Structure 1
């Protein structure tokens, strides 16, 4: 409960109270939390104090706001991805016993930007296949993924081929062997449009992942930019000493 004599700020004590309700399973994933007015009446504090506590928990991914409905306990289960090996999204989800899926946003053959051409080590006039998809796990949006592939390496790739893993298509249909990938991860904030696609609050933090995949001959086969939901995804790495 709230200790008015404590030097700990009131809003922070309310945060910890709500977290305790979740930890003790008095509030479960998907449950709606009490309204600001209810917390105000319960703790005899200002609505601004309650609002600060709730906002901090929303920004931490513990709570989620749904416009026109209220604030709910977020699903705390995160998908773990080891930063080892070159696996596609579909392969990752299947390995976790989840059903992978995609919603196609666009599929086109385009002239690449200077950055994409540089990443793929191709001439700026060479064509690339651009694939924009929402990636799903058990029908829930997990990421927005934009992939670029040199058309000359996948000349027959069509939208219909992407019902399965893109990496499986490259290796099984094109007889190309993916050797390794280079990847970077950073935190960014979603735009309003990206938030709608991922079903997260506007201004939510997400993980921006950029990956270049290479064949045995060191030719770039794919450059991908992905936005992963930070509230549902985390990355794990094993660090050997020395």
Structure 2
């Protein structure tokens, strides 16, 4: 994880937890540079991330302040930033899974790079279909290092893996980097997601991080086009 992402994550966590209150002024950039042992450009990039997320605002001649946003928007940001997973997102509905693949493999070049691993480290290789109220929503292909997430069992993959990570292992899921694309579905996706030929899908590629900044998950999720929505905050 880059330095500016770590800084942005730390400030974001302070805002979400209420350590930094609405309309409170953040330390000046030069002071943040000292606090985080980072360059001015690195701190600026971190603050720009938070401005883009709608969490802080820069006032010319005054400094940088925590933005006053509604509890509803704060909750949405919390869900978005910590990506609590499908089970938490649809907590009032029935979420189930069908496990297609569950084994341990040596990480290939792409997984090694995404998770910042040593060459050919062992990772879980999971492929499952997630359902909401018995309707297929997403196909998830997930890789996790077994040394970071030990003891993962089939029963965990049938429910919420994040719940196992946080409740059983005592780890804190912090943030994620996501890339979202849209393309036509293939035959396998049409089969498991009950799509018609050439129906589109949303493809979400994600690297997820623990509170200490360690990457613990690389996943590619294939979403039904009519079950997928992306929410964000747009600022001028």
Q: Same fold (TM over 0.5)?
A: yes
Q: Which residue of 2 aligns with 1:92?
A: 89
Q: Which residue of 2 aligns with 1:62?
A: none
Provide the secondary structure at the position in 2 that maps to 1:195. helix
Q: Distance in 1 between matches of 2:107 and 2:217?
A: 13
Q: Which residue of 1 aligns with 2:191?
A: 196
The structural deviation recorded for 1:232 is: 2.1
Q: Please say if 1:216 is aligned against 2:211.
A: yes
Q: Please say if 1:168 is aligned against 2:130.
A: no
TM-score, normalization: structure 2? 0.64
The structural deviation recorded for 1:177 is: 1.1
The structural deviation recorded for 1:240 is: 2.6
Verify the 8 A CA contact 1:132 1:144 in the aligned structure 2. Answer: yes
Provide the secondary structure at the position in 2 that maps to 1:115. helix
Cα deviation 1:41-84 (Å, max 9, x = unaligned): xxxxxxxxxxxxxxxxxxxxxxxxxxxxxxxxxxxxxxxx9782
TM-score, normalization: structure 1? 0.63
Q: What 5-or-longer segments of structure 1 have no aligned partner? A: 1-80
Structure number with greater Rg is 1
The structural deviation recorded for 1:157 is: 0.8
Q: Distance in 2 between matches of 1:206 and 1:124?
A: 32
The structural deviation recorded for 1:164 is: 2.4
Q: Distance in 2 between matches of 1:133 and 1:84?
A: 22
Verify the 8 A CA contact 1:109 1:127 in the aligned structure 2. Answer: yes
Verify the 8 A CA contact 1:192 1:203 in the aligned structure 2. Answer: no
Verify the 8 A CA contact 2:140 2:222 in the aligned structure 1. Answer: yes
Equivalent pairs, count: 159
Q: Distance in 2 between matches of 1:84 and 1:171?
A: 17
Provide the secondary structure at the position in 2 that maps to 1:218. coil
Q: What 5-or-longer segments of structure 2 have no aligned partner? A: 1-75
2:144 to 142, 149, 172: 149
Q: Aligned-residue CA RMSD in angstroms?
A: 1.6
2:126 to 113, 125, 131: 131
The structural deviation recorded for 1:107 is: 0.3
Verify the 8 A CA contact 2:99 2:158 in the aligned structure 1. Answer: no
